[in-house]
Chains A and B, each alone.
Chain A
Amino acid sequence: MGVGGFVAARGSDSESSNQQEGLILLLDVGPSMHNVLPEVEKLCSMLIQKKLIYRKFDEVGIVIFGTEDTDNELTMEVGGYEHVVVLRNIKVVDGDTVESLQKLPRGTVSGDYLDAIVVGMDMMIKKYQSTNKGKKHICLITDARNPIKGPYEGTKEDQVITIAVQMAAHGVRMKTIVVRGRLSEDADRRIVDENDRLLHLFSEKTSAKTVYVENSTSLLGALKTRNISPVTIFRGDLEISPKLKIKVWVYKKTSEEKFPSLKKYSDKAPPTDKYATHEVKVDYEYKSVEDPGKVVPPHQRIKGYRYGPQVVPISSVEWDAFKFKPEKGVKLLCFTDASNILRHYYIKDVNIFIAEPSNVRATIAVSALGRAMKELNKVAIVRCVWRQGQGNVVLGVLTPNLSENDKIPDSFFFNVLPFAEDVREFQFPSFSSYPASLQPSEQQQKAADNLVMMLDLAPPGKEEALLPDFTPNPILERFYHYLELKSKQPDAAVPSLDRTLKRITEPDPQLFSESKSVIESFCQSFEVKKNPKLKKSTRRFLREKPSGSDDEGGYGDASNALAIKSDEIKLLVKVDKIGDSTPIQDFEAMMSRRDSPDWVAKAIKDMENKICNIVENCRGGDNFHKALECLVALRKGCILEQEPKQFNEFLHHLFRLSQEKNLGSFWEFLASKDITLISKSEAIDSEVTDDEARKFLVKREPKLE
């Protein structure tokens, strides 16, 4: 859970001043943390930035530890607590808070997180005494790989328990983010284990939570940076039958965080007006179509719905009288096999059903049903009307969400399912009905298997990469970053995504280089090429492609240039004649030029000349091949452009030519390669039947024996 999740205030989504929260950031800046401090800086400034927009009255203090210096009240009062610096006392957030978090000092000694917690608690107690229960948070970010000092008396465990009891008594909640894995590989196992145990002790004894992150991307996502007090959507009965009702509360489990709602800006106010709001009001007026000067007042407006070509007016009174008015309530329809509900049928964001808090029986009932559903692999289908007066029912599926933490009750996830009207029954061809040429061969399938297996984002024993719960929204991150830049420099350019955020939008270079051989063998197993039939109107599709490669540090874009790319370049330089080196590509490029209708005719003419040229200057079998390739391309082009006559005449011409020039062997070569006339079935304008087309070569073949 993020700091935001700790909010105890219930009952409304508002973020008003009387719900202000106190937060102390305890940041480890010791040497072992230096490589992740840039991310820590970003994470914390994002948190403060969002507070500046959404919760302007929250109070924040910053404590860093692992510094050379010492600066805190406890050290002056009782001594000790060295290398802990209070960077900022608890006070209402302001722009300076962001500033100071963006350039955290780099420490020189190994930090003691327990000292920092005590200093933080001391600040908390001095500031709030016992008020603001549940609205006081401590957030600790450390790698917890350095030993903490032993106490003067008792064990470290005793010390932790004492502090935890204090926390619980004062209603202070703590969240710890421990940076591990790739980011601190050479840590001392024994010390790390001890620290993990001690941190775990906190979560046993008080409202504390520890999360471990293994890379900088998930560090950025480890803290919920936006505070939203959850509100229930529904409180009431989950009705299994009229005889059995379980008290539940329903909340949103996921909900998309949007951009802050920006306001439209008006520059009309004189620059001297200091109190100008610069806001813009948008006014809607409804005017009669016939008489645009006439404004129709709101009470004279009526809603209309289309019925065939006409519009049926329905007044709100009629509407109220006839509309569907279901009773509030959540009713079970049935249980069914989980396999009957495919994952892609979930059509909205997700809700969660929890048993009414502190209702023991309801908690057990939910737990029993959830656990039995899990065991039997079943789900429940429910019909929900959240509020009285809601105009519709919602059908959905309950799936068990079992908890392994004994402080967290079992619950259900709720996903909305579509109605019959919401499903569009489009038919698609079956893959098995495709011709063999579109089916992967055994070798190709193997290459695909390897790719799917090896390009693994959730390798056993390691942190799952890009886990949604730990992945920040790169676009929002960029927006807030840009907002901060603009506050200093109004004409700042939009920042590009940094390396950490690119791990979300682009492949991880490390993973891809580890799987290099698998990827290469996959790419070599398959061939893709641009469809030569492609018309100009659809070209945009490929043109967009190179835009990716101009991105700095883009992964692997330069390697393995594809056929598509070389074609692409040709297209861009606008081929206007058929050269010697790549006649076929030149021909195709010319055929697909659409800036003038003449290009097709010119391309065909040029190609014919080229072929005649090659044939006439024939000095061996090699050129036969070249002529054949050109002829094949020409034939294909003529079919595509529906110019069968051109080709058929040319083939006749070529026959005469080969006879005149005594090139019977060329003709024989063509016959062996099954070059035929273009028949009616290939191009409708052709006057040649299939049969005639096939016989053409055979019939004309000069007999050499």
Chain B
Amino acid sequence: MELDPDDIFKDEEDDSDSEFYQERESSKEFVVYLVDASPKMFNTTCPGEDQKNETHFHIAVSCIAQSLKTQIINRSSDEVAICFFNTREKRNLQDLNGVFVYNVAEREYLDRPTARLIKDFDCIEESFMKDIGSQCGIVSGSRENSLYNALWAAQALLRKGSSRTADKRILLFTNEDDPFGSMKGAAKADMKKTTLQRAKDAQDLGISIELLPLSQLDEGFNVSLFYAELMGLEDDDVAQFMPSSGQKLEDMKDQLRKKIFAKRIVKRITLFIANGLSIELNTYALMRPTTPGAIMWLDSVTNRPLKTERSFICADTGALMHEPTKLFQSYKNENIMFSMEELSEVKRVPIGHLRLLGFKPLSCLKDYHNLRPSTFVFPSDKEVVGSTCIFIALHRSMLRLQRFAVAFCGTSSHPRLVALIAQDEIVSAGGQVEPPGMHMIYLPYSDDVRHIEEFHSESNVSVPRATDGQIKKAADLINRIDLKDFSVCQFANPALQRHYATLQALALEEDEIPDCKDETLPDEEGMARPRVVKAIEEFKLSVYGDKYDEESSSMGNGKANEASRKRKAAAENAANESANYDWADLADNGQLKDLTVPELKLYLTANNLPVSGKKEALVSRILTHMGK
């Protein structure tokens, strides 16, 4: 058995990435954006965000640009192609007229989006007329059918990959609800028929076709003229279609940049109930802090990736050595050695997996009984038939009786006592909010809990408590600042959003970094409402009397204050001392290095700079600060 020493003691923080029992490869999405480029798309406008009129073409293109920027962060392995139809020029696999597949260098037609694609596509409108051109492809008297060609070209682009591992979609942007309106009689019927057949063939191959209709305010987009049939909508769906597609367009633009994870099982575990009865559970990570993604080290000269090599050096002899197989702990003046096998044996609990120990009322689970993100468990009959039924029965009983289960979770990485809380399904209009199942909460042990409350208690002094009157005022205050429909995770992480924005700006060589709103700041307007202010003032009066300002200005008391006073005094002292040196002169003559470290620190402290690092670092910091 090969064991990595770092692995044994590693925290299982990132359990989702190191598991080998995964569900199949996360499925990818292949999307072809099919944009109508007929003159009508350029001629019709509708009021945009800032009251200016925007062409439908602009709306479609900017929507795609936005969605690409989100996608490259959220699901960068998905592949896209952008394809215009009703164009003057043609470029596509089959050399069909009126269809132009947009692309940039170093990229196939259907491929992962790149910074270059996003960047160039952002300015497509400037060069569109020159390079691609708009031209209606369906005119009476001609046998050309640009819509048919477009669907065919898109289908050819999506030939890549199996429909089992990839989700294939065509997103069609148009403002023409009757593409064959200019045609008459048999020719029209024939074109309509072949186009519908083309669409059906694509759908039969597992490609879904979605329509994003653009319409003017006065004349709506009549989906029943043609597209209802193309998408196979029933009568009821038709009425529903328009409002929902408007929403879809909005959604595409306003997506949060958020890395999307494919649903997968972290681990399959067995829950031992009693008497040898056991059931099968799958665990999922529903909540894990998202990080900006792995750092790759690059050579700053070539921008080529670097590889890290680890070497082990014996501290006594300086000899290069193989990775050590033993670890030691100094104990009683001796070095006690452990092999990796022994250490993993220490962590091994005889009965692995999850072992039910009993149940407790929910009130026994305190708010401080928590260490790490919870894990979601859901039953599976895949290997043990009957698991689901038992799980549902226990789930219902636990919900009804308001109890949670205590179990020992014997995974090799962190064996722990866990609480299993039953969660009932919660469904809102938007879909499932909380899935039904149980959440596994990792419980602390006695040595993990700190008794801070008692830490400051004096030997025989009672602490003050709020009176009923004060509690009443606090209650009024709480009711004033109460948010009824607060939901966890309604806030985006401002640091992460900032990171993504910076990354995008640098990758696309944008001049400025778009501002990200920090949603986590308190609602100052709301807090300034007279009723809220009044409630706050009343509470303040009841607790602080008229002493509030005094207390807050006195900056607390005790040791904290002492420490800050000391720091302040040290800074003042440093400033005085530092004045005795002619720093500019010393710097110019290269004499800084002749000073002692404490002398150098005088300057740094006086100028509020960090004092850490070696002497050279201090000198260079001083020089930098002086602008030399």
A285 at the interface (CB under 8 A from B): yes
Query: How far does the Cβ of A134 sit from chain B's closest Cβ, in whole Å?
Result: 10
B584 at the interface (CB under 8 A from A): no
B429 at the interface (CB under 8 A from A): no
Residues of A within 8 A of B464 (CB): 360, 363-364, 367, 409
Question: Residue B415 contacts which of A296, A308, A341, A505 (CB distance < 8 angstroms)?
Answer: A505
Residues of A within 8 A of B9 (CB): 258-259, 261-262
B496 touches A419 (CB 8 A): yes
A323/B499 contact (C-beta < 8 A), A307-B507, A475-B346 known: yes
Closest to A434 in B: B388
Closest to A507 in B: B357
Query: How far does the Cβ of A234 sit from chain B's closest Cβ, in whole Å?
Result: 11
B247 at the interface (CB under 8 A from A): no
Task: State A699–B301 Cα separation when bound (angstroms).
Answer: 83
* Residues 294 to 337 of chain A near chain B (Cβ within 8 Å): 296, 300-315, 318-319, 322-324, 326, 331-337
B371 touches A349 (CB 8 A): yes
Of A142-150, A425-433, A594-602, which binds chain B? A425-433
A349 touches B370 (CB 8 A): yes
Residues of B within 8 A of A290 (CB): 304
Residues of A within 8 A of B129 (CB): none
* Residues 543 to 582 of chain A near chain B (Cβ within 8 Å): 544-545, 547-548, 551, 554, 556-557, 559-562, 564-565
* Residues 512 to 531 of chain A near chain B (Cβ within 8 Å): 512, 519-520, 522-523, 526-531
Give the residue among A168, A306, A417 with the most B Cβ atoms within 10 A. A306
B531 at the interface (CB under 8 A from A): no
Query: How far does the Cβ of A456 sit from chain B's closest Cβ, in whole Å?
Result: 6
Closest to A247 in B: B556
* Residues 425 to 481 of chain A near chain B (Cβ within 8 Å): 426-428, 430-432, 434, 437-440, 444-445, 447-449, 451-453, 455-458, 464-476, 478-479
**Chain B interface, >50% SS class:** mixed
A559/B275 contact (C-beta < 8 A), A262-B327, A564-B384 known: yes
B319 at the interface (CB under 8 A from A): yes
Task: State A324–B497 Cα separation when bound (angstroms).
Answer: 9
A472/B445 contact (C-beta < 8 A), A350-B367, A365-B543, A422-B489 known: yes
Can you list, as one digit per residue, whether each of B402-436 has a CB less than 8 Å from chain A (1) or not (0)?
A: 01011010100001010001010101000110111
Question: Residue B502 contacts which of A323, A391, A403, A430 (CB distance < 8 angstroms)?
Answer: A323
A340/B293 contact (C-beta < 8 A), A322-B498, A504-B408 known: no
A269 touches B316 (CB 8 A): yes
Residues of B within 8 A of A306 (CB): 76, 293-294, 296
A472 touches B381 (CB 8 A): no
Query: How far does the Cβ of B493 sit from chain A's closest Cβ, in whole Å?
Result: 4
Residues of A within 8 A of B463 (CB): 363, 403, 406-409
Task: State A210–B153 Cα separation when bound (angstroms).
Answer: 80
Residues of A within 8 A of B334 (CB): 487
Query: How far does the Cβ of A396 sit from chain B's closest Cβ, in whole Å?
Result: 11
Residues of B within 8 A of A542 (CB): 383-384
Task: State A383–B493 Cα separation when bound (angstroms).
Answer: 11
A242/B397 contact (C-beta < 8 A), A341-B488, A419-B496 known: no
A424 at the interface (CB under 8 A from B): yes
**Chain A interface, >50% SS class:** mixed
A617 at the interface (CB under 8 A from B): no
B309 touches A284 (CB 8 A): yes
Question: Residue B441 contacts which of A344, A381, A406, A544 (CB distance < 8 angstroms)?
Answer: A344
B390 at the interface (CB under 8 A from A): yes
Of B162-170, B203-211, B253-261, which binds chain A? B253-261
Residues of B within 8 A of A235 (CB): 556, 560
A280 touches B313 (CB 8 A): yes
A285 touches B309 (CB 8 A): yes
Task: State A243–B524 Cα separation when bound (angstroms).
Answer: 11
Task: State A352–B368 Cα separation when bound (angstroms).
Answer: 9
Residues of A within 8 A of B261 (CB): 424
B374 touches A310 (CB 8 A): no
Closest to B421 in A: A343
A529 touches B276 (CB 8 A): no
Question: Residue A376 contacts which of B371, B462, B479, B490 (CB distance < 8 angstroms)?
Answer: B479
Query: How far does the Cβ of A442 sit from chain B's closest Cβ, in whole Å?
Result: 10
A487 touches B336 (CB 8 A): yes
A428 touches B435 (CB 8 A): yes
B238 at the interface (CB under 8 A from A): no
B133 at the interface (CB under 8 A from A): no
Can you list, as one digit per residue, whether each of B273-312 has a CB less than 8 Å from chain A (1) or not (0)?
A: 1111111100011111110111111111111111111111
A314 touches B506 (CB 8 A): yes
B456 touches A354 (CB 8 A): yes
Task: State A11–B455 Cα separation when bound (angstroms).
Answer: 13
Chain A, interface size: which category?
Answer: 35 or more
B492 at the interface (CB under 8 A from A): yes
Query: How far does the Cβ of B499 sit from chain A's closest Cβ, in whole Å?
Result: 7
Closest to B438 in A: A344
Residues of B within 8 A of A276 (CB): 316
A257 touches B298 (CB 8 A): no
A106 at the interface (CB under 8 A from B): no
Residues of B within 8 A of A544 (CB): 270, 352-353
A284 touches B466 (CB 8 A): no
Task: State A684–B445 Cα separation when bound (angstroms).
Answer: 55
B356 touches A507 (CB 8 A): yes
A277 at the interface (CB under 8 A from B): yes
Task: State A365–B401 Cα separation when bound (angstroms).
Answer: 36
A324/B382 contact (C-beta < 8 A), A278-B335, A378-B478, A423-B489 known: no
B384 touches A531 (CB 8 A): yes
Task: State A473–B445 Cα separation when bound (angstroms).
Answer: 6
A285 touches B417 (CB 8 A): no
A478 touches B351 (CB 8 A): no
A415 touches B350 (CB 8 A): no
B530 at the interface (CB under 8 A from A): no
Can you list, as one digit per residue, whether each of B478-496 has a CB less than 8 Å from chain A (1) or not (0)?
A: 1101111111111111111
B274 touches A528 (CB 8 A): no
Of B42-50, B176-184, B532-540, which binds chain A? B532-540
A225 touches B447 (CB 8 A): yes
Task: State A255–B386 Cα separation when bound (angstroms).
Answer: 39
B580 at the interface (CB under 8 A from A): no
* Residues 513 to 534 of chain B near chain A (Cβ within 8 Å): 513, 516, 518, 520-524, 527, 532-533
B293 touches A367 (CB 8 A): no
Residues of A within 8 A of B507 (CB): 307-308, 310, 312
Residues of A within 8 A of B292 (CB): 305
A245 at the interface (CB under 8 A from B): yes
Task: State A490–B490 Cα separation when bound (angstroms).
Answer: 56
Question: Residue A541 contacts which of B268, B290, B548 (CB distance < 8 angstroms)?
Answer: B268
Query: How far does the Cβ of B85 sit from chain A's closest Cβ, in whole Å?
Result: 26
Closest to B263 in A: A426
B338 at the interface (CB under 8 A from A): yes
A204 at the interface (CB under 8 A from B): yes
B491 touches A280 (CB 8 A): no
B332 at the interface (CB under 8 A from A): yes
B478 touches A373 (CB 8 A): yes
Closest to A252 in B: B450
B312 touches A280 (CB 8 A): yes
A76 at the interface (CB under 8 A from B): no
Can you list, as one digit per residue, whether each of B361-394 has a CB less than 8 Å from chain A (1) or not (0)?
A: 1001111111111101010011111111110111
A206 at the interface (CB under 8 A from B): yes
Residues of B within 8 A of A363 (CB): 463-464
A256/B294 contact (C-beta < 8 A), A383-B521, A434-B388 known: no
A311 touches B296 (CB 8 A): yes
B454 at the interface (CB under 8 A from A): yes
The 7 closest A-B pairs by CB, nearest first: A368-B466, A344-B439, A528-B386, A372-B474, A448-B393, A428-B435, A440-B393
Known contacts A361-B548, A407-B458, then 9 further A-B pairs from the complex at CB < 8 Å, ordered by chain A residue: A1-B451, A224-B451, A254-B450, A262-B9, A346-B367, A391-B495, A466-B357, A475-B349, A507-B357
Can you name 8 A-B residue pairings with CB atoms under 8 Å? A312-B115, A348-B373, A354-B452, A422-B288, A440-B393, A508-B358, A548-B272, A556-B274
